[in-house]
């Protein structure tokens, strides 16, 4: 994978897309799980956003690994890369559960029988996956910011 795009490191560019899309996916999945009117309005939007977020995760990881070869190794960088590896399972779960939730909704709107217990179970699991993905994205972002900025004058001057 290339390391830059017109001289800019590719990793921060991809990561910024990731940290916008995943929270949007999380928000739409949660709203769809708890609010039937939103679920009807949104249609496949939560599934689509979850899929884009899922695709962005390995792209973020790959560009991060490429960038890692060009920066100084540190404990903070190691921690960041370790935490980052934990996002993919959450995003797989979020995508699968959003797709199952949409399929259940689609079937129910076409007159097919869908048990309430299955719908509730999928909704609860989708919310768990959404919260897990959100927490993981926040942890990754925090550790990445620390790894990038901890040794700069800006980070030390901002401390009280």
pTM beyond 0.85: yes
- Predicted pLDDT at 25: 98
- Predicted pLDDT at 155: 47
- Give the residue among 87, 115, 107, 106 at the shortest CA–CA distance from 26: 87
Q: Tell me: the pLDDT tens digits for 14-23?
A: 999 999 999 9
Mean pLDDT confidence for 66-89:
85
Contact 57, 88 (CB under 8 A): yes
Q: Tell me: the pLDDT tens digits for 18-56?
A: 999 999 999 999 999 999 999 999 999 999 999 999 999
Phi, psi values for residue 158, rounded to 5°: -80, -15
Q: May I ask the CATH architecture of the domain 4-153?
A: Up-down Bundle (1.20)
pLDDT surpassing 80 at residue 151: no
- Predicted pLDDT at 152: 61
- Predicted pLDDT at 153: 57
């Amino acid at each position: 994978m290339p390391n830059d795009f017109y001289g800019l490191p590719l990793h921060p560019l991809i990561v910024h897309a990731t940290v916008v899309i995943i929270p949007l996916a999380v928000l739409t999945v949660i709203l769809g799980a708890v609010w039937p009117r939103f679920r009807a309005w949104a249609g496949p939007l939560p599934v689509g956003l979850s899929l884009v977020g899922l695709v962005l995760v390995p792209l973020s990881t790959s560009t991060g690994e490429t960038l890692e070869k060009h920066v100084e190794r540190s404990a903070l960088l190691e921690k960041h890369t370790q935490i980052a590896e934990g996002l993919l399972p959450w995003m797989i779960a979020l995508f699968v559960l959003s797709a199952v939730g949409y399929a259940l909704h689609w079937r129910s709107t076409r007159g097919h029988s869908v048990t309430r217990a299955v719908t509730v179970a999928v909704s609860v699991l989708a919310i768990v996956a959404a919260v897990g993905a959100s927490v993981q994205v926040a942890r990754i972002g925090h550790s990445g910011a620390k790894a990038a900025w901890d040794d700069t004058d800006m980070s030390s001057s901002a401390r009280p």
